Each structure stands twice: as structure tokens, then as C-alpha cells.
Structure 1
Amino acid sequence: MSTNVRSAGRPSGLARPRSLLFAPGNRADLIAKLPRSAPDAVVIDLEDAIPGTPEAKAAARPVARDAARDLIAAAPHLPVFLRVNAVHSPYFAEDLHVLTPELAGVVVPKLERADDVRQVVNALATSGLTLPILAGLETGAGVWHAHEILREDAVRWAYFGAEDYTTDLGGRRTPGGLEVLYARSQVALAARLTGVPALDIVVTALNDPARFREDAELGRALGYAGKLCIHPAQVALAHELFGATPAETARARALLAAAHDAATQGHGAFSFEGQMVDEPMLAAARAILAQDHAGLPHAGGTHE
């Protein structure tokens, strides 16, 4: 059942992962190396990283299951997600057998309506699992219904997928990304209104840090919490661009300390570094400190 975002079903202070590093589900060697770049969380992928044939999907599942188990044992503090195929695909039902309660959550791509989320929740329950969902919004319908999808209590994180979105619309990806700016902004807005941290689009130029930096700066400006990463080298850049800098953290602490002193002295208004302080400035400072201390919990699911 859908409930208001302030309901008890969604805990306050949800973590804001800066990086989500992907690895193909059929590559145990790459999955074992995921912790080396110190991402905030990782995703073992059974969807786009695996060829779309029944044989390839079937072969990848046991590899992904065993590699996830080994990774969780080797890096117990690293949140490990598994991305299944879309709920309406012929592979979704079999993918569920790979999920275990030790996972931090399940990544579900191409969600298009709140009913899709409920179908996932029911399917998980049938398998005896309760896992939080990282929702993929990467079709026209998914972007259009982003707010209702993210209001579902099971959805704890989200991402926008520009490549699939553009394909769904029959458009073309361009270096400037103007073709996805509207949808990218819509997902960020829906995430803000529902309190769900959203991760920004993939940068496919693996050996172009300047391109990644430019794109990530735009994503942060739009309000995204972090970035999808498809190469280990992108993780450090994501942390730099989506994390608070030491200078920003220090300034936020000083501003809030000054606000506390002013309130103690009975002053409703005060100046800080030559600026008159208002509530939006204080809210921004609190957000910086919350981001600086946020961590992504590892164990997201329970076994019923």
C-alpha cells in the first residue's frame, strides 16, 4: 500500500550514496575487485551487463549469487546490491532466486508505475524476502510517474537512466545532454519531494575524467545525491564532486555555531562573514553536515 513519505515505513535521514559502482553479474573476477576503489555501494548487474538471451541470463545467475555471497563475506561493511531485470521482462521471476537477505537491496530497472513497485514487493514476499528497492527511472512512463513511484515505501533510493530513456523516446544522445535535461530534472525534483536520494546518469566515456567531472557537476547542481559509476576510476571523482569539501564542512559548522550563539543571546537575526543569515542558509549548512556524516547501511533486508 502506498503511504505518505513521512510515514513510519520510510525512516528519516536516509543515506545519500555518492557513488554506486556496477560490475557484470557474470564476472566474478571483477566483482571481487569492487571494494578496491572504496565506493559507497556496489551493484552486481544481471540486466544491461548480461546479453539478452535466456542462455546468457541463466548462466550469469549462479555466478552473481556466489560472487555476491563471497563479496559480502570479504567486505562486510560494503553495501552490495543486485540489479535484476525489469519486472515485465521474461527474466525477472528467475532473477529473484538469486536474491538473499544479506543484500543491502535490490535494484529494479525501468519501473514505470507504482503498481510495478507493488508487484516487486509481492514477488519478494512470495520468496520470503523483504528488501528495499533502488528504483530505476529510465523510460518516458517512469519519468512521467516518478513521483508516484518514489512515494512507495519500499523505494529507498532511485536513479535516472539517460541511455534507456532516450532510446524509449526514439531520440539520440548528444554530448551536451540537452535531450535528457527535462527528464533528469523531473527525477531530481520527484526525489526531493519524496525524500528519496537519487543517483545521476552514467558517463560512458571511461577514459575522460573531464567529461565525467563536467557531467557530475551538472548532476549535483540539479540536486542529485551521487553518481552511477561503471569504472573504478569514476568513484573518486564522484566522491569529490558530490561530497562536502573540508572547507564547506568547516564553514557549515561555524555558521551553525554562530546561529546557536545568537539564539542563546536572544537574537533572531545576525550576520555571518558579512552576510545577513536567513533560514535557507541554515538549512543548507545542516544539509552539508548531514551529507558529510551520512553512511549507507549494509543490511537492508530481512528474511521472513
Structure 2
Amino acid sequence: MRSLLFAGATRPDLVAKLPRSRPDAAVVDLEDAVPADHKEAAREAARRLGRELAAAHPSLDVYVRVNAVPTRWFAGDVAEGVDPTVAGVVIPKLEEPAQLAALRSALADHGLGGLRVVAGIETARGVAHVERLLDLGVHAAYFGAEDYIADMGGVRTADGDEALYARSRVALAARVAGVIAVDQAVVDVRDEEAFRRDAEQGRAMGFGGKICVHPRQAELANAAFGADAEQCDRARRLLAAWEAAAAGGVGAIEFEGAMVDEPALRMAREVLARGGA
């Protein structure tokens, strides 16, 4: 899940355009993108748009983001806003295992028990409990930095250090649990260079993809979290050199000026996996 691209359920024009930038996953949003006084009316649209998008684009994973479990909209969102043909649901601001149990119960009650769950970790309590939450069988998790900083009473800065601890903890918990980790959004949709830098840092931290709030960001995320031909070629050459050395009983080699051992081999294999090689 290199790119998780969102559009509001009240904007069918934007939802229809979601596949154009080739995101790995598209989200029809009932939460942040829909004002409070439009949420109930948006449910029918979310269900219809999700169904139509999934039918028209079978290779695209389509999700619906419902409102958080403690809100007054949650139960109605699950009952009326989620079509059984979509890939799954996104549950924002997940904080307690009991909330995940409530989601699963609600999904089962409406014949949706087979859908995937993407967990939003975006509050202080969610970060504090992230290891427990991600060990409960979710498909993926994203780190929502803006909500997290607001919940902490913090301030957003250009270097992003205020989110580094929580961001790292989500990436680590996801790796331990074996689930996909999706990195924070970049809300300035005009600054592509800032998005590239942030995506590269997220990739270096172990995230597998990124929240996208604009179609162009999905294209940038796919590039950042994939692997190009040059990277794949280098990985293949490194692995070939290692295999040749190992056949001769050598346990570590020098490749392009750097010593290579097992961690470097794992990273090379990861590059090939990201590149689809």
C-alpha cells in the first residue's frame, strides 16, 4: 500500500477521479472530509460511490473511512455507508482494543465481517496503545500526525521533530505485528519537494506507503515507496556477488566500497520486493 488516497463522500467528482493517479488504495471519506451537518446524508453516497468505484476498477483497493467509534455517527456509518463489495473500512482515531472489537461486531452485524480493517493511529492514547492495537489482526495502520499533534497540544514545525517519536513507534509496532504501515500526510499539496523529502524519510524509517490528500501525491508516493530499475539492478548485482562469495565460503564481502553482510542482503531483497522484481 504505497499510496492511500482520500476523497470526501460529498465530492463525487473527486471520488470519480481517484483512480487516475493510480493509487494502491482509494478511500471514500465520511470523517474529516465531511462536515458534521452533512455526515448522515453522505452515507448513501459513500456506499454507492464505494460500490461503483470497486466495480469499475477491480484492481484498486477501495475503502470507506467511517467516523471514530465513540462518535454519534459511527454505528450509522457502518450500517448505511459501507458496501460489502469494497475491500475494507478505515477506522480513525483508534485508541483501545475495545473500540476495535466494537468495529468488528458492527461489521459482522451487517454482513461485513470479511472486510479488511485499516487502523488510524492519530491520538496520544492511540500511540500509547499502538502495540496492543496492531497485534489484533488489522490489515494496515496509518499514522495521522496532524490529529496527534493537536491532541498533544503541540505545534507543527517545518522539521517535524514533534511527531518523530510517535511516527517511529507506529512504524515499529506495525513491523512487529506484520501489518502495513502508512506514513503521515503532507497537507501542503503545492509543495511537491516537501512531500518527496517526507516520503523518503518515511521509507527510511520502515513505512510502506503514505497518506495522500491530492492525486499528484499518489504518483509521488508510488515512486518513493517503490523501487526503480537502477535500484533493482544494484540489488540484483549485490545479491549475485554475495552468492558467488558464499559459494566459496566467504561470510562478508565488499561491494562498491561498502562491507556487505546479512542486513544489507535483507535490504536488497526488500528493494526487489518493492520493485516487483
TM-score calculated relative to the size of structure 2: 0.94
Q: Distance in 1 between matches of 2:200 and 2:257?
A: 28
For the residue of structure 1 that corresponds to 2:68, the secondary structure is: coil
Q: CA deviation at 1:178?
A: 2.0
Q: CA deviation at 1:200?
A: 1.0
**1:26–1:61 contact (8 Å) kept in structure 2:** no
Query: Could you tell me which residue of structure 1 aligns to residue 261 of structure 2?
Result: 278
**CA deviation map 1:111-144 (0-9, x unaligned):** 0022221221121111122211110000000001
Query: Could you tell me which residue of structure 1 aligns to residue 60 of structure 2?
Result: 78
**CA deviation map 1:237-270 (0-9, x unaligned):** 1122221122111111122223333344444444
User: Quick one: which amino acid aligns to residue 97 of structure 2?
Assistant: A
Q: Distance in 1 between matches of 2:254 and 2:145?
A: 43
Match of 1:185 among 168, 174, 182: 168
**CA deviation map 1:54-88 (0-9, x unaligned):** xx111111111111111112111111011000011
**Matching of residues 1-304 of structure 1 within 5 Å:** 17-53=1-37, 56-97=38-79, 98-129=81-112, 130-153=114-137, 155-293=138-276
Q: Distance in 2 between matches of 1:254 and 1:229?
A: 33
Q: Distance in 2 between matches of 1:254 and 1:102?
A: 43
Q: Which has the higher helix share?
A: 2
Q: Distance in 2 between matches of 1:211 and 1:274?
A: 31
**1:24–1:49 contact (8 Å) kept in structure 2:** yes
Q: Flag the 1:176–1:271 CA change in 2: closer, same or farther, 3 A.
A: closer
Q: Distance in 1 between matches of 2:186 and 2:253?
A: 43
Q: CA deviation at 1:274?
A: 4.3
User: Quick one: which amino acid aligns to residue 102 of structure 2?
Assistant: Q
User: Quick one: which amino acid aligns to residue 103 of structure 1?
Assistant: V
**Number of paired residues?**
275
**2:7–2:213 contact (8 Å) kept in structure 1:** yes
Q: Distance in 2 between matches of 1:269 and 1:38?
A: 40
State which drifts further: 96-105 or 131-140: 96-105
Q: Flag the 1:251–1:177 CA change in 2: closer, same or farther, 3 A.
A: same
**CA deviation map 1:190-209 (0-9, x unaligned):** 11221212111111111111
Which structure has more relative contact order (CA 8 Å, sep 6+)? It is 1
**CA deviation map 1:208-249 (0-9, x unaligned):** 112212222222222211110101111121122221122111
Q: CA RMSD in A?
A: 1.6
For the residue of structure 2 that corresponds to 1:85, the secondary structure is: coil
Q: Structure 2: give runs of 5+ residues left out of the alignment.
A: none
Q: Distance in 1 between matches of 2:250 and 2:159?
A: 48
Q: Structure 1: give runs of 5+ residues left out of the alignment.
A: 1-16, 295-304
Q: Flag the 1:292–1:66 CA change in 2: closer, same or farther, 3 A.
A: same
Q: Distance in 2 between matches of 1:161 and 1:191?
A: 14
For the residue of structure 2 that corresponds to 1:76, the secondary structure is: coil
TM-score calculated relative to the size of structure 1: 0.86
Percent of aligned pairs sharing the same letter: 54
For the residue of structure 1 that corresponds to 2:4, the secondary structure is: strand
For the residue of structure 2 that corresponds to 1:293, the secondary structure is: coil
Could you list the structure 1 runs, at least 4 aligned residues long, displaced by more than 6 angstroms after superposition: none
